[in-house]
């Protein structure tokens, strides 16, 4: 029976900036057991890395070296899509750049929503950098066999996305984000609006601005 490694005191989160093609700098944070197997948490579109629940990151950190980062045009990373446009494949390449910067050869990749697309691209383009791949709340890449048979977003969600980049003050933006999470949550399990409001307040504080104009960058980025 193999003994499991449990660090007595997981490392305090460490932050850094990683420069990637196009003049972008990405905010990166690693935490947990730095001697454990790396876990790369790949967040969805228009969402900063700190949107991953703190409790989840902490629990993974008991056994793993956990890495999160802000995609281009989110959080504390560079926001400049209009000057330096990119494709989703470039965002997947950013994950490789993050691994390189941290000296990580291979990692378990976990992708949510658009992050699931990016992990699929990593499986296609950089399979040698992954230990495993876990996808949820996502779909098949456009053009994949059977992709047309997968149900698309609901009309309610599409209507909400249509207002994604509209100007809003901080209070209205916060309300919009909580409503977005409610719709994504669906109707089968309870939804705690207060929990997600607190989460988005932390995300806004992390990025320093409630401005949603850059949120459309990922919607405009093709594969």
Question: If you average pLDDT over residues 214-222, what whole number do you get?
Answer: 81
Statement: residue 1 has pLDDT above 70: no
- Are 72 and 45 in contact, with CB atoms under 8 Å apart? no
Question: If you average pLDDT over residues 197-210, what whole number do you get?
Answer: 91
**Helix ranges restricted to H, the chain:** 54-60, 88-101, 114-125, 155-161, 170-185, 193-207, 217-220
> Within a 13 Å sphere around the CA of 58, how many CA atoms are in the beta-carbon half?
4
- Check residue 3 and give its pLDDT: 41
Q: Whose CA is closest to 219, among 25, 108, 104, 88?
A: 88
Question: If you average pLDDT over residues 94-123, what whole number do you get?
Answer: 97
- Third-level CATH fold of 11-142+153-220: Rossmann fold (3.40.50)
Per-domain residue ranges for the chain? 11-142+153-220
- Specify the length of the chain in residues: 223
How far apart CA 165 and CA 187 sit, in angstroms, is 26
pTM here is: 0.89
SS3 164: coil
Question: If you average pLDDT over residues 205-215, what whole number do you get?
Answer: 78
Q: Give pLDDT tens digits for 65-90.
A: 999 999 999 999 999 998 999 999 99
Mean pLDDT computed over every residue of the chain: 90
pLDDT band at 213; cut points 50, 70, 90: low
Helices 193-207 & 170-185 angle (0-180, nearest 10) = 130
């Amino acid at each position: 029976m193999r003994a499991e490694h449990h660090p007595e005191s997981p490392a305090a989160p460490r932050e850094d900036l990683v420069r990637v093609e196009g003049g972008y700098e990405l905010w990166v944070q690693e935490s947990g057991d730095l001697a454990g197997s790396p876990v790369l948490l790949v967040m969805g579109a228009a969402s900063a890395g700190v949107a991953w629940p703190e409790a989840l990151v902490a629990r993974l950190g008991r056994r793993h070296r956990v890495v999160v980062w802000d995609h281009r045009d989110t959080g504390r990373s560079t926001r400049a899509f209009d000057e330096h446009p990119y494709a989703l494949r470039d965002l997947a390449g950013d994950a490789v750049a993050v691994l390189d910067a941290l000296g990580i050869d291979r990692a378990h990749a976990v992708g949510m929503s658009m992050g699931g697309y990016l992990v699929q691209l990593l499986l296609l383009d950089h399979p040698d950098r992954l230990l495993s791949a876990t996808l949820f709340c996502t779909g098949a890449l456009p053009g994949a066999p059977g992709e047309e048979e997968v149900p698309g977003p609901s009309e309610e969600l599409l209507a909400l996305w249509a207002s994604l980049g509209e100007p809003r003050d901080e209070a209205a933006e916060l309300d919009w984000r909580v409503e977005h999470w409610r719709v994504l949550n669906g109707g089968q399990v309870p939804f705690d609006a207060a929990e997600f409001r607190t989460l988005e307040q932390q995300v806004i504080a992390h990025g320093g601005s409630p401005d949603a104009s850059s949120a459309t960058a990922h919607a405009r980025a093709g594969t």
